[in-house]
């Protein structure tokens, strides 16, 4: 892939690590390596504290600390809350059902298992974060340790160990080389904007030859948007917990999703060949508009990554105006009267897509400017 088409973070990492083969790889995978470090520290810290307090099954605290430690502070906080609430509900319900068991023979235990799992499984089916609840209930019902300690004692110990692991996971995420969800949102937004720019450039290069490239980039953009949505949720947890005073990143996700939709509209229209009678008049202005939009999105990508004010999309606005002026010229010549309904629809579908793109691009640039001012 040519150098100009690389994503901003990748290009920056490679430039900074020029001459040292391992450095680009380390910089590119720095967030993952830091996450691995935090997970290791959280596991060791949980084990040490569990050993100090002589917890009977310390692995619960260690496993919880490992699982709770996420890529950002907000992600760790969400995972900790989900695990705590799910474990508490599962432990209470499992202990209550276990206390009603007449004996622990196979048939009564099977009935208790059904009663214990069903309502919690329904909750887990509607809320992914609740999936630990039926797991905890099953452990309380079937564990041999629960028989020795009693359901209430065993459930209490498990909740305390899970609470300890959750607290340690959040503290390690907060104190050991912390990664803020808002910063990750900006990186993901920059990469998504760069992908959208590449789609527009593929459209401008030619309908037939780059159709598969447009589809591939569109699928890749969808994956980036899914990650951006997840990070926006984590950033919202940080804001609600007073761990961050950054502006709400949700508008980045919404605007980029609308931009992707705009490009899908353009792709459907622009991949159709122009009628011969208007190709010379409309083809070049359309391609100029697509290239100008791509350049504006690349500028937005760089600006959001650097948290600085974005460039004004003046060139794109002029290109859209030039395309619409070309439509006016075609209509003045009376060419549209000779075209089929589909051909006329093609001309105005491109115009509609460009107008929507202009509107949503302006919204994205406004969001970037707000983010730069809050720095």
Residues of the chain with CATH 1.20.58: 181-373
Determine the pLDDT at residue 89.
Answer: 94
Record the pTM.
Answer: 0.71
CA distances from 109 to 41, 115, 151 (A): 39, 10, 13
Determine the pLDDT at residue 2.
Answer: 35
Determine the pLDDT at residue 65.
Answer: 94
| C-beta of residue 196 within 8 angstroms of C-beta of residue 361 | no
The C-alpha angle 27, 173, 306, rounded to 5 degrees, equals: 45
Nearest 10 degrees: CA dihedral of 31, 164, 82, 136?
Answer: 120
Tokens 């002029």 found at: 318
The C-alpha angle 154, 155, 158, rounded to 5 degrees, equals: 90
The CATH architecture that domain 181-373 belongs to is Up-down Bundle (1.20)
| C-beta of residue 133 within 8 angstroms of C-beta of residue 120 | yes
Residue 344 exposed, middle or buried by CB count within 10 Å (0-12, 13-18, 19+): middle
Residues of the chain with pLDDT under 70: 1-22, 144-147, 206-211, 243, 270-271, 374-375
- 3-state per-residue secondary structure call for the chain: CCHHHCCHHHHHHHHHCCCCCHHHHHHHCHHHHHHHHHHHHHHHHHHHHHHHCCCCCCHHHHHHHHHHCCCCHHHHHHHHHHHHHHHHHHHHHHHHHHHCCCCCCHHHHHHHHHHHHHHHHHHHHHCHHHCHHHHHHHHHHHCHHHHHHCHHHHHHHHHHHHHHHHHHHHHHHHHCCCCCHHHHHHHHHHHHHHHHHHHHHHHHHCCCCCHHHHHHHHHHHHHHHHHHHHHHHHHHHHHHCCCCCCCCCHHHHHHHHHHHHHHHHHHHHHCCCCCHHHHHHHHHHHHHHHHHHHHHHHHHHHHHHHCCCCCCCHHHHHHHHHHHHHHHHHHHCCHHHHCCHHHHHHHHHHHHHHHHHHHHHHHHHHHHHHHHHCC
How many CA within 13 A on the CB side of residue 54?
0
Residue 138 exposed, middle or buried by CB count within 10 Å (0-12, 13-18, 19+): middle
Determine the pLDDT at residue 62.
Answer: 95
Determine the pLDDT at residue 233.
Answer: 83
Determine the pLDDT at residue 210.
Answer: 62
How far is 372 from 370, CA to CA, in rounded Å? 5
Determine the pLDDT at residue 1.
Answer: 32
Give which of 374, 370, 366 is closest to 245, Cα–Cα: 374
- In this predicted model, what pLDDT tens digit does every residue of 5-63 receive, in sequence order? 344 454 444 444 444 556 777 777 788 888 899 999 999 999 999 999 998 889 999 99
How far is 36 from 17, CA to CA, in rounded Å? 22
Token pair for 325? 């002026």
């Amino acid at each position: 892939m040519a150098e100009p088409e690389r994503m901003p973070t990748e290009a920056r990492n490679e430039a900074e690590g020029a001459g040292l083969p391992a450095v680009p790889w380390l910089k590119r995978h720095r967030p993952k390596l830091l996450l691995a470090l935090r997970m290791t520290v959280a596991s060791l810290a949980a084990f040490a504290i569990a050993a100090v307090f002589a917890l009977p099954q310390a692995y619960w605290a260690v496993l919880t600390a490992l699982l709770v430690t996420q890529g950002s502070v907000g992600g760790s906080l969400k995972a900790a809350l989900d695990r705590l609430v799910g474990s508490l509900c599962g432990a209470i319900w499992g202990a209550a059902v276990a206390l009603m068991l007449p004996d622990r023979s196979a048939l009564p235990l099977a009935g208790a298992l059904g009663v214990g799992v069903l309502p919690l499984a329904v909750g887990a089916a509607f809320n992914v974060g609740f999936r630990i609840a039926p797991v905890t209930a099953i452990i309380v019902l079937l564990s041999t340790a629960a028989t020795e300690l009693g359901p209430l004692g065993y459930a209490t110990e498990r909740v305390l160990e899970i609470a300890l692991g959750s607290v340690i996971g959040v503290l390690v995420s907060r104190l050991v080389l912390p990664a803020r969800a808002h910063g990750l949102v900006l990186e993901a937004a920059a990469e998504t904007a760069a992908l959208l720019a590449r789609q527009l450039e593929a459209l401008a290069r030619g309908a037939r030859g780059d159709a598969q490239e447009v589809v591939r980039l569109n699928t890749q953009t969808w994956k980036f948007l899914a990650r951006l949505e997840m990070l926006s949720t984590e950033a919202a947890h940080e804001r609600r917990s007073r761990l961050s005073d950054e502006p709400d990143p949700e508008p980045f996700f919404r605007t980029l999703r609308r931009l992707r939709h705009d490009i899908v509209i353009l792709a459907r229209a622009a991949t159709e060949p122009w009628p011969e009678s208007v190709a010379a008049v409309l083809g070049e202005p359309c391609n100029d508009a697509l290239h100008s939009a791509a350049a504006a999105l690349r500028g937005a990508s760089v600006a959001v990554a650097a948290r600085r004010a974005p460039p004004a999309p003046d060139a794109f606005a002029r290109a859209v105006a030039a395309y619409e002026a070309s439509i006016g010229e075609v209509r003045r010549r009376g060419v549209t009267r000779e075209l089929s309904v589909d051909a006329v629809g093609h001309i105005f579908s491109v115009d509609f897509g460009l107008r929507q793109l202009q509107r949503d691009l302006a919204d994205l640039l406004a969001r970037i400017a707000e983010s730069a001012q809050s720095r």
